[in-house]
């Protein structure tokens, strides 16, 4: 297994329900290490870039409204095979299909209101980490 760093975004539903500590504890209990963490308000430009794969879809304005409703917490998380393992901890994107015991199964509501975004590949993680963290904001120690 490879040592990787992935991006996690705690979405507005996680912020509003005060779930960030519980979810972060699950990631840390799985042995992952925080390399960067910050709260930020997402604007239209970063949302259009991050969701460029669906920017032409009719539901895109709903995503923008939801993801800008509150600040989000961006997390750079490191660990062995972290990308796949975090996605397993989260469960399926659609929280209604996520089994109990997964983060989305325990705390999510649906496709959008699903607690966290997580990178789905090493390539996506590299691009997303650069999008949400400036040089010097991800630490190795």
Catalytic residues: 117
Question: Residue 114, SS3?
Answer: coil
Q: CA-CA distance, 102 to 85, in Å (whole number)?
A: 11
* Residue 41 CA: distances (Å) to CA of 33, 38, 69, 90, 111: 24, 10, 9, 23, 21
3-state class of 33 per DSSP? strand
What's the maximum distance between 2 C-alpha atoms anywhere in the chain?
Answer: 44
Phi/psi for 19 (5° steps) reads -100, -5
Q: Are 78 and 32 in contact (CB under 8 A)?
A: yes
């Amino acid at each position: 297994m490879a040592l990787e760093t992935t991006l996690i975004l705690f979405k507005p539903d996680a912020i509003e329900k005060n779930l960030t500590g519980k979810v972060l504890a699950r990631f840390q209990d799985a042995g992952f290490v925080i390399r960067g963490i910050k709260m930020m308000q997402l604007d239209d430009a970063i949302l259009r870039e991050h969701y460029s794969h669906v920017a032409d879809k009719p539901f895109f304005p709903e995503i923008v409204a939801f993801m800008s409703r509150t600040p989000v917490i961006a997390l750079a998380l490191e660990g062995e095979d972290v990308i796949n393992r975090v996605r397993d901890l989260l469960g399926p994107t659609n929280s209604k299909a996520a089994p109990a015991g997964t983060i989305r199964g325990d705390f999510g509501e649906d496709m959008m209101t699903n607690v966290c975004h997580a990178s789905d590949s090493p390539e996506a993680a590299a691009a997303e980490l650069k999008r949400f963290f400036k040089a010097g904001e991800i630490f190795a120690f």
